[in-house]
Homo-oligomer: A and B are copies of this chain.
Amino acid sequence: MNPFEIIITLKGFMTAILLLSCADQKGLVASIANFISDNGGNIVNMDEHVDSYAKMFFIRVEWEIGGILFGKDELHSRFKPLAEKFDAKWKIEFAEKKPKLAIFVSKYDHALQEILWRYKLDEFDVEILSIISNHTDLATLADNYNIPFYHFQISKENKIEQEGKEIELLKKLDVDLIVLARYMQILSENFVSKFPNKIINIHHSFLPAFIGGNPYKQAYERGVKMIGATSHFVTNDLDEGPIIAQDIVRISHKDSVKDLVRKGRDLERLVLAKALHSFLDHRVLVHKGKTIVFE
């Protein structure tokens, strides 16, 4: 990219965000702060966490890149030697570049409604490129928000083939994130492996309680006094992926399964929205099956 383009398109300052994790070692914060300072940046936000048990270091830094005359690729190149010195996993994101999102749904509309409503309100810094479904029920809703709707009917027989087309589409769209907004199909291992830590699901229980199907019925039968919802990254272990957000609501003996579904719906919407906020603000790091979510 031509650096002069950047300068022209900027209204104020361009903001960059570094997410980095590596083995804990001396001088990490100073090195990173100096790198930013030496490259003309001004730190506006820094969150850092040392896991002294795992001896790991995690950081999120947000800084204004004021008046610089080089582009993003150049910034990557300049930071690379430092990252290699630390043997770090890292990425630098730019606040003005909106992540690209695809949403998978089936028949329930509440999670999708919630995302679209917040999207329209500009709550999420995201570009929603497509809504993908194994049913056609929510095509109208997608239409109301002018978002392309793709129908991939799924059966036992055609699953691999249809997923292949979905993957092709998603790769073509170059999506940064896939949200399963109550998508009622289990994705194949192959699909999941194509998007590591890039698929977010909402499960309607406080995981690890009530893994699998019909968690509200499970909750009703166990007689718990609260139900929950959990948003997590999808891995190939069902409902075992890194948890991003959770919440609960109180219930009582008066609540039928139908009441749990109704009360849980509100929870699902809010918990998924919270997880999306964290992801889209580049606040989530993953390490060994767990998340660090900087608030």
In the assembled complex, A10 has its CB within 8 A of some CB on chain B: no
Q: Which of B28, B117, B290, B295 contacts A43 (CB 8 A)?
A: B28
Flag A31-55 by CB within 8 Å of B: 1 or 0 each: 0011011000011111111111100
* Residue of A27, A208, A223, A252 with most chain B CB atoms under a 10 A cut-off: A223
**Which of chain A's residues 55-101 have a Cβ closer than 8 Å to chain B?**
58
**Which among A150-158, A159-167, A239-247 touches the partner chain?**
A239-247
Inter-chain CA distance A121–B252, complex, in Å, is: 23
**Which of chain A's residues 237-295 have a Cβ closer than 8 Å to chain B?**
242-248, 252-254, 256-257, 262, 266, 270, 273, 289-293, 295
* Residue in B closest to A209 when the chains form the complex, CB atoms: B209
Q: Which residues of B contact A228 (CB under 8 A)?
A: 206
Number of A interface residues in the complex (CB < 8 A): 61
In the assembled complex, A29 has its CB within 8 A of some CB on chain B: yes
In the assembled complex, A222 has its CB within 8 A of some CB on chain B: yes
Do the beta carbons of B291 and A223 come within 8 Å of each other?
Answer: yes
Q: Which of B52, B123, B266, B293 contacts A252 (CB 8 A)?
A: B293
* Residue in B closest to A219 when the chains form the complex, CB atoms: B208
A200 to B: closest C-beta gap in Å: 14
Main secondary structure of the interface of A (DSSP, over half): mixed
In the assembled complex, A192 has its CB within 8 A of some CB on chain B: no
Q: Which of B113, B224, B290 contacts A207 (CB 8 A)?
A: B224
* Residue in B closest to A59 when the chains form the complex, CB atoms: B46
Q: Which of B42, B53, B226, B253 contacts A27 (CB 8 A)?
A: B42
Inter-chain CA distance A36–B26, complex, in Å, is: 11
Q: Which residues of B contact A113 (CB under 8 A)?
A: 117
Do the beta carbons of B30 and A37 come within 8 Å of each other?
Answer: yes
In the assembled complex, A9 has its CB within 8 A of some CB on chain B: no
* Residue of A110, A210, A228, A253 with most chain B CB atoms under a 10 A cut-off: A253
In the assembled complex, A144 has its CB within 8 A of some CB on chain B: yes
In the assembled complex, A194 has its CB within 8 A of some CB on chain B: no
Q: Which of B47, B144, B223 contacts A289 (CB 8 A)?
A: B223
Inter-chain CA distance A30–B58, complex, in Å, is: 17
A residues apposed to B, CB below 8 Å: 26-30, 33-34, 36-37, 42-53, 58, 110, 113, 117, 121, 123, 144, 206-210, 222-226, 228, 242-248, 252-254, 256-257, 262, 266, 270, 273, 289-293, 295
Shortest 4 CB-CB distances between A and B: which pairs? A223-B290, A30-B37, A30-B33, A209-B209
